[in-house]
Amino acid sequence: MRASERYERVFELFEAVCDLPVPARQERLRELCADDQELQQDVESMLAADGREHSLIDAGESGRGVAVLAAGLLGSGADGEASTIAFDAAQRRGAEEPLPTEIGGYQVLRRIGEGGMGIIYEAQQESPHRRVALKVLRPGALTPSLLKRFRREAHVLGQLQHPGIAQIHEAGVADAAGTRPFLVMELVEGRPLLEHAEFYQLEARHRVELVARVCDAVQHAHQKGVIHRDLKPGNVLVVPGGPSGSADTTTFAHATEITGGTGTLDTLDAVGQPKVLDFGIARVTDPTTAAPVTQQTEVGQIIGTLAYMSPEQVTGDTAMVDTRCDVYALGVLLYEVLSGHKPHDVAGKSIPEAARVIQEHEPTRLGAHDRSLRGDLETIVDAAMAKDRNRRYGSAAELAADLRRYLTDLPIDARPPSAAYQLAKFASRNRGLVVGLAATLLALVLGLCGTGYYLLEAIRQADAAESARVEADKVADFQLHQIDGIDVAAMGAELRRSLLEAVPTERREDLESRLRDVNFTDLALQSLETNLFERSLTVIDTDYAEQPLVQAKLLLATARTMQGQGLHEPALDPMRQALAIRRRELGLDHRDTLAAAIDLSKLLGLVSQFEEAEARLREVMETRRRERGPTDPLARQALGGLVDVLFLDGRGEEALVLARAAVGIERGLLEPEHPDLLASIGRLRTVLIQLGHLEEAEPLAQELLDVSTRLLGARSPKTLSALSDLAALRRAQGRLDEAAEIYERTLADVRQLHGNSHPDTLLAINNLAATRFQQGEYEPAERLLREAVATQGSVYGYLQKPAVLLLENLASLFDVTARGADAEPLWLEALATRRRLDGDQHPDTLLALLHLGSVLNQRGEPARAMPLIIEAVDGAREVFGDHDERTLVAAGDLAQLLEQQAAWGEAEPYRRLVVAGLRADAPLQRRTLARWLEKLAENLTQQGRRAEAEPLRLEVGELREAAAEEEGGRGERVREEGASEAPK
C-alpha cells in the first residue's frame, strides 16, 4: 500500500470510530483493522491527539474527508504519531510571517485575508493560467480538530457545483512534512453582501432578488446534504454583473477597485451574482434522510455566528440542527439587507444572554424600519425567522420561490401565524383582550353567525388603539390574514359534530338521519358570506373610502379569498370595484391596474363569462408585450390566464397552442424550479391529457413530480398531488397496474399526513378504488369505497359532491357485479342529491337518471325505468345536442328499452338518432356505425319494412370491409346494453 493510500485509510478509520463512545472504540477499531497492528496504532494516536483539543473553535463536526489531503498529514515520525503544534503560538506568529513566494506550485501575489484557521492569498496558477485564492493552514496550526475542519471544507466544496458557491480547484499539502495543507479556490472579486448593496445603492426589489439567488445556492448545498450553519453577510461575496458578468477567476478578496470607485453598475445586471463562502463548520448529512453523517460536536457547544443563529442552534443541541437553521439565517440576511439593521442586537452580550434574546424576544417588525417593507415582505421575513422551526419555510427553495412571487406580484405562499397561535403568544402580554379575541377565533372555527362581527370589531379596536403608529394598510393586512386559509369543509364538519354531541345518545341516531340532507359545508359557506365577507366589504367601503388604493387592495384580497372558497359570483363585484379604483387612481396601463384586470379575467372564466375574460386577458397581454416584450411577468400571467379560459370554454386546441408557447417562453427565461414555469407546465400537462396527447403529457407529469419531490420532499401535499396526477395519467394510458401501485403509495402517505377522514384521504381512496374497479378487482374496490362512503357520511354528511361521487362509484360497482338490489338505493340517493346540488339538467344529474333507469330495467321494472331514461334523453338533447356522445348513449338505452317492450315504432326514431350521430363522426366510428345500422335494419324488419332494411344491411357489409382495411379511431363509444361506466 502506497504512503498516500495508507494515510487515507487511517483517516477513514479515524472518522469511522471517532464519534463512538470511548469503550466501544477499541473493539470497533480492532474489528476494522483486522491484524494490521501498525494501522491500528496510527488511528489510536490520532484519537489521542483529537481528545486533547477542547477549544470552542475546534469543536466543529467531522466531515468525510478529502483524499488529496491524506499524504504526509500524520507527520514523519517512525511511529506514525500525529504531530501537534500549539495553535496559539501559530496565531501570534501569523501576522509576522513574511509573504511566501510560492506555495504548492502556485505563485503568491498578495495576502487578502486571514482567520482563526488559516491565511488566504491571491495566487497565480500557470496551467491553466488564472488567478486563484489559496487558503493555507497557519504554520504550526495542524491540530487534529482544526485539520478535520479544514478537510471538511475541502470535502464539502468538492461536492458543490453551483454558480452561487465558491468552487474548489485543488487540495494538497505544501511541504513534504505535510504541515501546510492548502485549498485552491476560485477568486471571488466582489464585496460582502451588505457592502455590495450599499455601494451600488440597490433598490429593495434588487436586494430581494439578490437574497433569492443566495437561497438558490444554499438550496443546492442542502440537496447535497450540506448545512452551512454560518450564513452571514461576510460569508456572501457578490460579483457585479450577475452570472453573465462574473469573471472566470474568483477570490475571497473584498475588492474595491473593480469599478473604479464609481458606485454604479452601468449596463451590468443590477443585482450581481452572490457567492457563498466558508463551509468550514458546515454539517454533512445524508441528503436522502437529512440525518447527520457524524455527531462530533458536543451538546452545549455553539457553532456559528450568534446574530444569525436560529433559536434551536443557540442551544448547542446538535440533534436540533437541520436545513431550517440555514433558512432562519437567510431570513436574518433578508431582514438586514432590506432594513440595514439586525433583527436582534446581541453585540456585547454574553453567550447565555444573547441566546435568551434570540430564543425569547420578538424582533422589531421589518416595516417599522421602512413603511414600504410592510405587507408581503414583512410576512416572508416573519415566516423565514419563525422561532418555531415548524412554522418556517420548509426549504431555501420555498423561501426563494416566495421572494420571486413577491417580485412578480403573485400571491405569496407564506401566511402569518394562525389566530390560535397568535392568541397563545399574545395571552401572556395582553390578558385583558384575550377573551374577545378568543371569541373571534371560536367564531371563525365554527362558522357561527357572529364571525364577521367579532372579527371586524377586533380590527376596529386594533385600529383605534394603534392609529398613531400603524398605517391603514397594515390593519388591512391583519384583517385579510384572519380570513385567509379558512377550511370551510372542516367548519361544516365541526358544526355537524357539535350538533350531534349536543343531544342525548339515545336521540343521536334519529338526529343524524334528519341531518342527512343538510349540507353543512354550504351552511358554513353561507355563514361566512353573510356574516364575514359581506360585513368585511361594508367596512372596506366605509372605513377606507379616503384611502382608495388601500381600499382596492382590500377588495382584491377579499375577493380572492371568496373565490378560493367557491364564492365566484359574489366575488365579481368587489373585484370589478377594485379594478375601477386602480384605473382611476393609477391609470389604465399601470402594472397594478393590469394585475387586477388579470385577476378579474380569471374569475370571469370560472363563471363562464368567457368572452369578456378573453378580451381582457388579450388586452393586457398585448399591452405588456408591446411595451416590454413577451417575457414580461404580467404578459406571461395573462397568457397563462388565457390558456385557462380557453380550456374552460371547451377550446382545447387553441388552449394547447398557447400552453405550448407559454412553456417555451418560460423555459428560456426561468430556472427549472421557478413556480411560474411549473404552473405553465401543469397547464400544458392538463390540456394534453384532456385532448388525449398522453405521450407528450407523460414527461411533463414526471418533471412536475421530480421538481416537487426535490424541493418539498416526497410527502409534502404538493408532491402527493403531483404523484396522484401521474397515476391518473397512467390510468388514462391503460397502465392500470402502475396506476394502482402509485395510488397505493399516495394513499398511505396521505393517511399519515392528514388522517383517515380528511377530504384528501377520501379522494385518494376513491382514486385507488376506481383503478381497482378497472382492473376487475371488485372486492378490494368495494372495501375501499365502503370505507370512504362511511367516513364521508359520518364526518361531512352526504349532501355534498364528494359524497355523491362516492355513492355513484359504489353503485356502479354493484351494477357491474349484477347486484341491482344493492345499487338501486344508492342511485336513488345519488339522483336526489344531484337534483338538489346541480339541478335537473346538469350532466351529472342526467347520467344518474340513466344509471338508475338501467338498473331498474335490469331488475325487471321497465315501467319505473322508462320515464327516467326518457327524461335523460330529452335533457341530453337540450343540453348537449343530438350528436353529443352522452345524448347517443342515452338514446341507445331508450331504444333498447322500447324494443324490449316490442314498441318497435317508438324505438325507431331513437335508433335513427344514434345512427345520425355516428355518421357525423365517420369514418372513426365505422364498426360501431355498422352495428347500429344493423340494429336499425332489424327494427325496420320487425315493423315489416324489409325493403327499407335491405340497403342498410348492404351498407353494414361495406363499412365492415372498410374498417378491416383501416382500423381507426376511438373504438366503441356508444353503450349498447346499458353497461355501467367505471367509477370516476
**Which residues are paired to 269 by β-bridges?**
241
Q: Is 230 a catalytic residue?
A: yes
Question: What is the reported pLDDT for 796?
Answer: 67
Question: What is the reported pLDDT for 238?
Answer: 92
Burial of residue 91 (number of CB atoms within 10 Å: 0-12, 13-18, 19+): middle
CA of residue 80 relative to chain centroid, distance:
54
Q: Give yes or no for a contact between 465 and 368, defined as CB atoms under 8 angstroms apart.
A: no
Q: Give yes or no for a contact between 155 and 138, defined as CB atoms under 8 angstroms apart.
A: no
Burial of residue 744 (number of CB atoms within 10 Å: 0-12, 13-18, 19+): middle
Q: Show the beta-strand stretches assigned E in 750-879.
A: none
CA–CA distance, 598 with 646 (Å, rounded to integer): 14
DSSP, residue by residue, 281-303: T-EEEETTTTEES---SPTT---
Question: What is the reported pLDDT for 515?
Answer: 67
> What tens digit of pLDDT does each residue of 90-134 get?
333 444 567 888 888 889 999 887 755 678 889 999 888 889 988
Burial of residue 101 (number of CB atoms within 10 Å: 0-12, 13-18, 19+): exposed
Residue 658 cell numbers, joined? 398557447
Compute φ and ψ for 813, nearest 5 degrees: -65, -40
Compute φ and ψ for 272, nearest 5 degrees: 95, 160
Question: What is the reported pLDDT for 172?
Answer: 76
The count of other CB atoms within 10 Å of the CB of residue 713 is 13
Residue 320 cell numbers, joined? 436540533
Q: Which residues contact 514 (CB under 8 A, 6 or more apart)?
A: none
CA–CA distance, 142 with 485 (Å, rounded to integer): 56
Question: What is the reported pLDDT for 65?
Answer: 22
CA–CA distance, 903 with 853 (Å, rounded to integer): 17
Cα 837 to Cα 610, 804, 834, 844, 846: the distances in Å are 24, 10, 5, 10, 13
CA–CA distance, 495 with 358 (Å, rounded to integer): 41
Question: What is the reported pLDDT for 487?
Answer: 66
Residue 728 cell numbers, joined? 391518473
List average pLDDT for each run of 10 residues in the chain, which is 984 residues long: 54 67 74 81 65 30 24 29 30 56 88 73 88 78 61 69 85 62 84 90 92 94 84 89 40 31 43 82 49 36 68 75 90 94 80 80 84 85 90 91 87 59 38 36 39 43 41 50 60 71 74 66 67 78 86 88 81 92 92 93 88 93 90 93 90 93 91 90 91 91 91 87 91 92 92 82 90 91 90 71 85 88 89 83 87 88 89 88 86 90 92 88 73 92 93 89 64 38 46
Active-site hit among 42, 58, 216, 230: 230
Question: What is the reported pLDDT for 381?
Answer: 94
> What tens digit of pLDDT does each residue of 493-541 get?
776 777 777 777 777 777 776 666 566 766 666 666 666 777 778 888 8
Question: What is the reported pLDDT for 77?
Answer: 31
Question: What is the reported pLDDT for 371?
Answer: 75
Q: C-alpha angle with apex 628: 623 to 629, nearest 5 degrees?
A: 90
Question: What is the reported pLDDT for 175?
Answer: 61
The count of other CB atoms within 10 Å of the CB of residue 111 is 16
